């Protein structure tokens, strides 16, 4: 048994305890349910807790183990589901009061795969309404509270509740989606690991859409190895999501612990550099030195495609969101979050020519970067240029909200536009105790590489073992 409290253990550690008989799926699930009951009031990560269902699933997982049927490393492990994923018998609200909340009758492919691997659903976590927001604010269901400060600070979004649940020990893993940074930004701001997969790597069937071109699915976890374990199960073709067709699964576990000696780590001289908070810049510089110590070759290089990607207008995700929500914008705009509704109306201003020209330029940049990244294995940057800010500051006016949103998305959005995969993991804290995230970008479909690099860095540091002081939440 580890000395780490059960709720802060990784999936790897929990799995070892389960197989050693130190814990069972039922008492493990009961422990997390009790943790949620204790902390969800002040932290507001879950909008739906499925305690009875979770215990029933845990009983089933335990029965299988008792007969010698082990479904793998995720068997018996509880997890949280961002409220965009359809789970049979549960509603999907997408963080809104404008959608049909009848229980779903068809399972998302991602949650189906996790159920087949023996995982236990604890409940649904709060998302920014329709996943439209990097800041993490939800004025309909309440904004999840970043657990690292008693003062309400933004958790990042749109996978806000998932990040808070994992960071605070209410769940060892949670599902997220990422269209412009919605896995990586909350991971960076809440001090967890977040994996943004390449579009086409993981099925989006049964996931409430924001942009069919840019949406991706990925886990938020307590460690890089945990992210790899979950990703190994999630990936693979699904005929109901044609973006996945022809994309073969990749073994991310075998090379995970191979080290990074001789790998080429790129630091762009012309992108990912603007507006860095001083403490964030120092943390990233220290991380770069660790990569050198681990034997990687660190290279400063020019990445013009990344710089040009930042200048692309938001025509792709904006126009696609306007199509997805056409009827809702016509009839229910007044019921939307005030930080979402006005932006939905603005999405209608994108012309077809703007949409097509932006797609054409995005595809040109993706093709051009192949040569730019030919001799680079991964690209390093901060996940967000600035740490978490006060909720009160960002929820006061739409103009201030948009100003900060642009900063929080400045680095992550590059990866979505260029089709990269990305991994955010902790690399330090500000003097105020707020997490700083390191972003490891990889070429399309190189999840195995970024997980390998992230694992090596994580093992050389202590950041994943840090835990928020939640005494204020328990008082």
Mean pLDDT in residue range 410-433:
98
Token representation of residue 274: 């603007």
328-346: pLDDT as tens digits: 999 999 999 999 999 999 9
What pLDDT, on a 0 to 100 scale, did the predictor assign at position 273?
Answer: 87
Question: Can you name the residues that pair with 82 across neighbouring β-strands?
Answer: 125
Active site annotation includes 96 = no
pLDDT at 290 over 80: yes
The single residue listed with the structure tokens 């209608």 is 348
Answer whether 344's CB lies under 8 Å from 321's CB: yes
Distance CA 395, CA 338 (A): 9
49-103: pLDDT as tens digits: 999 999 999 999 999 999 999 999 999 999 999 999 999 999 999 999 999 999 9
CA atoms within a 13 Å half-sphere pointing along the CA-CB vector of 99: 20
Distance CA 475, CA 470 (A): 9
CA distances, 260 to each of 35, 382, 456 (Å): 37, 20, 7
Average predicted confidence (pLDDT) for the chain: 97
Q: Exposed e or buried b for every residue in 14-43, given b needs 16+ CB within 10 A?
A: bbbbbeeeebbbbebbbbbbebbebbbebb
Distance CA 436, CA 388 (A): 9
Determine how β-strand 78-82 pairs with β-strand 435-442. Answer: unpaired
What pLDDT, on a 0 to 100 scale, did the predictor assign at position 475?
Answer: 65
CB atoms near residue 52 (< 10 Å): 9
Please pick, among 108, 124, 132, 158, the residue that the annotation labels catalytic: 158
Is the four-CA dihedral 305, 309, 310, 312 of positive or negative sign? positive
Query: Residues 6 or more apart from 181 whose CB is under 8 A from it?
Result: 134, 156, 196, 408, 409, 411, 412, 413, 415, 416
22-51: pLDDT as tens digits: 999 999 999 999 999 999 999 999 999 999
Give the H or E element holding residue 61. Answer: helix 51-66
Domains and CATH numbers, the chain: 11-474 (3.90.1300.10)
Please pick, among 96, 182, 223, 243, the residue that the annotation labels catalytic: 182
SS3 56: helix
Active site annotation includes 257 = no
What pLDDT, on a 0 to 100 scale, did the predictor assign at position 1?
Answer: 56
Task: Place 274 in a pLDDT band, splitting at 50, 70 and 90.
Answer: confident
Answer whether 366's CB lies under 8 Å from 418's CB: yes
CB atoms near residue 100 (< 10 Å): 8
Query: Residues 6 or more apart from 326 whose CB is under 8 A from it?
Result: none
Mean pLDDT in residue range 156-180:
98
Is the overall model pTM greater than 0.95, yes or no?
Answer: yes
SS3 125: strand
What pLDDT, on a 0 to 100 scale, did the predictor assign at position 431?
Answer: 97
What pLDDT, on a 0 to 100 scale, did the predictor assign at position 474?
Answer: 81
238-255: pLDDT as tens digits: 999 999 999 999 999 999
Determine how β-strand 120-125 pairs with β-strand 78-82. Answer: parallel
Q: Which of 372, 402, 381 is nearest to 284 (CA)?
A: 381
């Amino acid at each position: 048994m580890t000395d780490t409290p059960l709720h802060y253990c990784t999936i790897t550690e929990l799995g070892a305890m389960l197989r050693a008989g130190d814990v069972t799926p039922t008492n493990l699930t009961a422990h997390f349910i009790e943790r949620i009951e204790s902390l969800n009031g002040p932290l507001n990560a879950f909008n739906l807790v499925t305690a009875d269902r979770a215990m029933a699933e845990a009983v089933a997982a335990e029965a299988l183990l008792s007969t010698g049927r082990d479904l793998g490393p995720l068997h018996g492990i509880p997890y949280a589901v961002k409220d965009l994923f359809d789970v049979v018998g549960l509603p999907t609200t997408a963080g809104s009061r404008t959608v049909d909340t009848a229980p779903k009758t068809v399972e998302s492919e991602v949650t189906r795969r996790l159920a087949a691997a023996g995982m236990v659903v604890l409940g649904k976590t709060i998302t920014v309404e329709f996943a439209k927001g990097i800041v993490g604010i939800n004025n309909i269901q309440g904004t999840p509270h970043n657990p690292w400060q008693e003062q309400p600070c933004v958790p990042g979004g749109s996978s806000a509740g998932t990040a808070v649940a994992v960071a605070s020990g209410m769940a060892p893993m949670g599902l997220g989606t990422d269209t412009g940074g919605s896995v990586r930004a909350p991971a960076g701001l809440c001090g967890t690991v977040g994996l943004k997969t390449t579009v086409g790597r993981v099925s989006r069937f049964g996931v409430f859409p924001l942009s069919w071109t840019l949406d991706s699915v990925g886990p938020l976890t307590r460690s890089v190895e945990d992210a790899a374990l979950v990703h190994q199960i999630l990936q693979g073709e699904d005929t109901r999501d044609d973006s996945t067709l022809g994309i073969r699964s990749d073994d991310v576990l075998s090379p995970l612990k191979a080290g990074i000696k001789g790998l080429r780590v790129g630091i762009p001289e012309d992108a990912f550099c603007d507006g860095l908070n001083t403490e964030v810049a120092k943390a990233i510089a220290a991380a770069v030195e660790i990569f050198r110590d681990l034997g990687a070759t660190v290279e400063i290089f020019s990445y013009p495609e990344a710089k040009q990607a930042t200048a692309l207008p938001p025509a792709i995700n904006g126009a696609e969101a306007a199509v997805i929500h056409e009827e809702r914008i016509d009839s229910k705009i007044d019921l939307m979050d005030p930080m979402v509704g006005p932006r939905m109306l603005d999405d209608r201003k994108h012309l077809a020519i703007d949409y097509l020209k932006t797609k054409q330029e995005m595809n040109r940049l993706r093709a051009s970067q192949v040569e730019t990244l030919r001799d680079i294995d991964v690209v390093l940057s901060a996940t967000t240029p600035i740490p978490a800010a006060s909720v009160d500051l960002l929820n006061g006016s739409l103009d201030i909200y948009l100003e900060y949103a642009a900063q929080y998305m400045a680095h992550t959005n590059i990866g979505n536009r260029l089709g990269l995969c990305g991994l955010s993991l902790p690399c330090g804290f500000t003097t105020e105790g707020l997490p700083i995230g390191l972003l490891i970008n990889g070429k399309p479909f190189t999840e195995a590489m970024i997980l390998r690099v992230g694992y090596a860095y994580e093992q050389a540091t202590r950041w994943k073992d840090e835990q928020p002081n939640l005494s204020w939440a328990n008082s």
